[in-house]
């Protein structure tokens, strides 16, 4: 049985134990932490989320910051009444999906591959699909023998791992003021000629990354070709998940609050991890099982 399945089974066993306790407050997997924003930006996002949920009937105090699923499933404390998190943490928590942003998220691996002597230094990434078929096949085969890095509890790393794009995915804890640039910096320093490495990220983020200015063991890094390898599956955005003890009236009111959101302020959009387009809905159990399966969580 996969580790994710074991964690999920443990979470689903909670109704007879921890779920019988009174829940308290909420938990927040802050998207600003994944972006590497400064601490004050993280605090602003927390304030925006509290303000938005003030009329939902859910308790907004205390609000606990979380970084990984262990922060949700740890014993010895009252369970959170709700979690605002991505689908990976939501699925592993065993909580009920109330409102999930179903706007697609497109993950990819940004692979630091072989040295191309004739290429300009720190050339921008190229899409896998732009390469000849034989080169595409070679890139995919080599990547499957290579190490990748991804943000712990991120859906991008989970989807990459689930699809087996890399030999294994090393999870890196998210840190304030670091973000994706910190992830590629770590990968760049680990890269060696003949030993590829990749990072899991969103396709849009991968297009903006480069090796310029990064420290490396070899200056040849700056002549290495960067290739964006998309995953087959797409993910979805963040959502709110409720503890089973939360009454149905509050669940319905909260779901309506998200569904009725049409023009959020910029700070609220950042707090909820919303792009120009978003689509909050309440997935059925069958629909959510499919969403969870894309990140490797299966019952």
Query: From CA 271, how far away is CA 260, in angstroms rounded?
Result: 17
| Residue 128: predicted pLDDT | 98
Contact yes or no for 199/184 (Cβ under 8 A): yes
pLDDT in tens, 152-183: 999 999 999 999 999 999 998 876 545 667 88
Q: How confident is the model at residue 13 (pLDDT cuts 50, 70, 90)?
A: very low
Residue 195 or 7, more confident: 195
Domains of the chain, by residue range, sit at 3-103+236-294, 107-230
Query: From CA 180, how far away is CA 108, in angstroms rounded?
Result: 13
Query: Does position 297 have pLDDT exceeding 90, yes or no?
Result: yes
Contact yes or no for 235/105 (Cβ under 8 A): yes
Which residues make Cβ contacts (< 8 Å) with residue 231, sequence separation at least 6?
106, 107, 108, 109, 159, 160, 163, 165
User: pTM (2 decimals)?
Assistant: 0.88
Query: Does position 21 have pLDDT exceeding 70, yes or no?
Result: no
Query: From CA 93, how far away is CA 72, in angstroms rounded?
Result: 7
Among 240, 284, 213, smallest CA distance to 98 is for 240
Q: How confident is the model at residue 19 (pLDDT cuts 50, 70, 90)?
A: very low
Between helix 248-259 and helix 39-53 the angle, nearest 10°, is: 120
Q: Say what percent of the chain tops pLDDT 90.
A: 75
Query: From CA 70, how far away is CA 134, in angstroms rounded?
Result: 42
On average, the pLDDT of the chain sits at: 89
pLDDT in tens, 186-206: 999 999 988 999 999 999 999
Which residues make Cβ contacts (< 8 Å) with residue 50, sequence separation at least 6?
60, 61, 63
Q: Please provide residue 100's backbone torsions phi and psi, each rounded to the nearest 5 degrees.
A: -120, 135
* Residue 62 preceded by cis peptide, ω within 30: yes
Which residues make Cβ contacts (< 8 Å) with residue 30, sequence separation at least 6?
42, 45, 46, 65, 271
Helix extents (H) in the chain: 3-12, 31-35, 39-53, 70-73, 87-93, 133-143, 155-163, 179-190, 203-206, 248-259, 266-272, 285-294
Hey, what's the torsion of the CAs at 229, 298, 258, 104, to 10 degrees? Answer: 20
* Fold adopted by 3-103+236-294: D-Maltodextrin-Binding Protein; domain 2 (3.40.190)
Strands of the sheet with 280-281, listed across from one edge = 63-65, 24-28, 80-85, 239-242, 96-101, 280-281
Query: Does position 76 have pLDDT exceeding 90, yes or no?
Result: no
Strands of the sheet with 126-127, listed across from one edge = 126-127, 224-230, 107-115, 197-202, 147-151, 168-172
């Amino acid at each position: 049985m996969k580790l994710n399945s074991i964690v999920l089974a443990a979470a689903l066993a909670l109704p007879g134990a921890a779920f019988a306790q009174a829940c308290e407050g909420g938990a927040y997997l802050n998207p600003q932490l994944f972006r590497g924003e400064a601490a004050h930006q993280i605090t602003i996002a927390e304030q925006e989320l509290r303000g938005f949920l003030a009329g939902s009937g859910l308790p907004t105090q205390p609000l606990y910051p979380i970084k990984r699923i262990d922060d949700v499933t740890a014993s010895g404390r009252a369970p959170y009444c709700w979690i605002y998190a991505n689908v990976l943490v939501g699925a592993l928590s065993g909580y009920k999906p109330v409102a999930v942003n179903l706007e697609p998220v497109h993950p990819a691996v940004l692979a630091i591959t072989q040295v191309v002597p004739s290429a300009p230094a720190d050339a921008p990434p190229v899409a896998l699909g732009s390469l000849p078929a034989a080169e595409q096949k070679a890139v995919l085969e080599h990547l499957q023998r290579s190490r990748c890095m991804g943000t712990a509890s991120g859906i991008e790393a989970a989807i990459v791992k689930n699809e087996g794009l890399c030999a294994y995915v090393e999870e890196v804890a998210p840190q304030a003021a670091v973000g994706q640039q910190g992830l590629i910096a770590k990968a760049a320093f680990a890269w060696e000629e003949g030993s590829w490495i990749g990072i899991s990220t969103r396709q849009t983020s991968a297009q903006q990354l480069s090796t310029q200015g990064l420290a490396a063991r070899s200056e040849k890094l700056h002549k290495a070709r960067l290739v964006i390898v998309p995953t087959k599956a797409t993910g979805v955005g963040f959502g709110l998940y409720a503890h089973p003890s939360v009454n149905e009236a509050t669940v319905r009111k909260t779901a309506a609050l998200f569904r009725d959101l049409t023009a959020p302020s910029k700070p609220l959009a950042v707090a909820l991890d919303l792009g120009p387009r978003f689509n909050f809905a309440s997935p059925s159990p069958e629909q959510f099982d499919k969403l969870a399966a894309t990140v490797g969580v299966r019952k």
